[in-house]
Amino acid sequence: MGAGLALTLIAGCGGTTKGSDAAVGGDDKAGGASANPDAPLKEGLKIALLPKEIDNPYMTVMDKGGTDAVAELKGTGKAVGPSDAQASSQVSYINTLIQQGQDAIVIAANDPNAVAPALKEAMSKDIAVVTLDSDAAKDARQVFVNQASSEEIGRSQVKLIADQIGGSGKIAILSATPNATNQNTWIDFMKDELKKPEYAKIELLPTVYGDDDDQKSFQEAQALLQKNPDLKGIISPTTVGIAAAARYLSSSPYKGKVKLTGLGTPNQMREFVKDGTVTEFALWDPGELGYLAAYAAAALASGQITGAEGEKFKAGKLGDRTIGKDGEVILGPPTTFNTDNIDDYDF
C-alpha cells in the first residue's frame, strides 16, 4: 500500500500510471457458455485463417492444412492476410472477418497485444477465436494450438547445434522479428539450456534479426560471419532465416565449416542438406498445425468445447485431443530432418 502510494507520488500528480486501477483492463474472458461434448460438429461453418503474412511458404502450407480440414467438415474455409509481418497489419483483416460474419477466426498473431482488442470484439460477437503457431494475449482467444512445447523446441535446437560443432565455440541466433512471440520464447529456452555445464564451452553471441525477410536475413548471416570469422554455428529458428542463411553459406568459403541448424521446411532446405551446407534441422508439419487448429475452431463454433482445460475434441486424422492449461493444445514433438529422411517429406 505504502509502496503503491509512493509510486503514485513519484509518477507525479496522481495521474494514470502503469498498474493503477484505471490502467488495468477489466476484461474478463468472454464466455459463461458451457460446453456440450456431445454436440455434433456443424456443417457449413465459415472458418477463416489469418496467417502472419500471406506469401510465407511455411504459412501457406499451414493455411492449406486448415482449409483442407474445413473442407472435410463441409464448411467454407479461406486464408486471408497481410503481405508484411508488421504488428498492426492483421487488425484490418480481423475487423473485416467480423463484418463478414465468419464463424471462426484462426490466427497466427504477429503481435500478441496489437491484435487483442480486435479479437476480443470478435469473441464478443460469438466468433470462435483460435490462435496457432504464435499466440495472442491469453484473454483474446479461446484455444492456442502450439506446434510443440516451446521448451522442447528451444532446448532441442541447442542440442542439435552442440552436436554439430563438437560442443565448443561461438554460436549465434538469427531470428525473425524482434517481437515474434514464439521465437523469443524459444530463444529464452535456448539461453537457459546453454547454462548447463555441458555447454560451458559454447559462447552465444547477441541475437540478430532478419525480420523474416529473405534479403535482410541473408545480409544478417553475411554480417555475422564478417564480424565473427571464428563463428562455429548459427541457429535460425525461422524458416525464412534458415533458408537465407543456408543460401549464403552454400556459396561462401564457410560452407560445411560453419554449421547451421534451426527450423526449416524440407522443400526449402533439401538442396542445402544434399550439398553438405546443412547437416540436420527440425520442424513440425505446418499443414498438420493448420489442420488441428481448424478442427479446434470447428469444435468451438459448434459448442463442443469452450477452451477450458480438460475438454476433449476429435481432430480428424490426428485423433482425439485434449485441451491443456491456458487453453493450449499441443501438436507434438518436432521432426528432425537429415540426408536419411528428407526425401520422405514434401512441404
Partner 1 sequence: MNTVLAKALRWESVLFVLCVLVFAYGATSTGEFTEQGNLSFLLLDYSEVALLAFALVPIILTGEIDLSVASVLGFCSALTGALWDAGMSFETIVPLVILAGVVLGSVNAVLVVRLGLPSLAVTIGTLGLYRGLAYVVLGDRAVTGFPENYRPLATDSAGFLPYAAVVVAVVGLLVALLVHATPAGRSVFAVGLGAGTARFSGIRVGRLKTALYLLSGALAALASLIYTLRYNSARADNANGMELVAVAAVLLGGVSIFGGRGTVAGVALALLAMAGLRNVLFLDDVSNEIQNVITGLLLIASVLVPVVVKPRRTKDVPLETTSVDDGRRPGADPDRGVRRDHQGV
Smallest gap from residue 17 Cβ to partner 1 (A): 5
From candidates 12, 44, 197, 319, binder to partner 1 by CB under 8 A = 12
Nearest approach, Cβ of 260 to partner 1 (angstroms)? 23
Confirm if 84 and 110 have CB atoms less than 8 A apart: no
User: Rule CB under 8 A: is residue 78 a binding residue for partner 1?
Assistant: yes
Concatenated DSSP letters for 44-101? Answer: S-EEEEE-S-TT-HHHHHHHHHHHHHHHHTT-EEEE---SS--TTHHHHHHHHHHHTT
Question: Contact letters (x/-) for partner 1, 166-185, by CB under 8 A?
Answer: -----------xxx------
Does residue 213 bind partner 1 (CB under 8 A)? no
The answer to whether 76 contacts partner 1 (rule: CB under 8 A) is: no
Is the Cβ of residue 26 or residue 40 nearer to partner 1 in the bound state?
26
Would you count residue 124 as binding partner 1 (CB under 8 A)?
no
267-306 footprint of partner 1 as x/- string (CB under 8 A) = ----------------------------------------
Residue 26: Cβ within 10 Å count? 6
Report residue 268 as a C-alpha cell: 526449402
Are residues 221 and 174 in contact, defined by beta-carbon separation less than 8 angstroms? yes
126: left (phi over 0), alpha (psi -120 to 50) or beta: left
Q: 3-state class of 247 per DSSP?
A: helix
CA distance 139 to 145: 15
C-alpha cell recorded at residue 332: 507434438
Residue closer to partner 1 (CB basis): 77 or 303: 77
Q: How far apart are CB 277 and partner 1 at their closest, in Å?
A: 28
Residues forming the site for partner 1 (CB under 8 A): 7, 10-20, 22-26, 54, 78, 80-84, 86-88, 91-93, 95-96, 98-101, 111-114, 116-117, 137, 177-179, 209
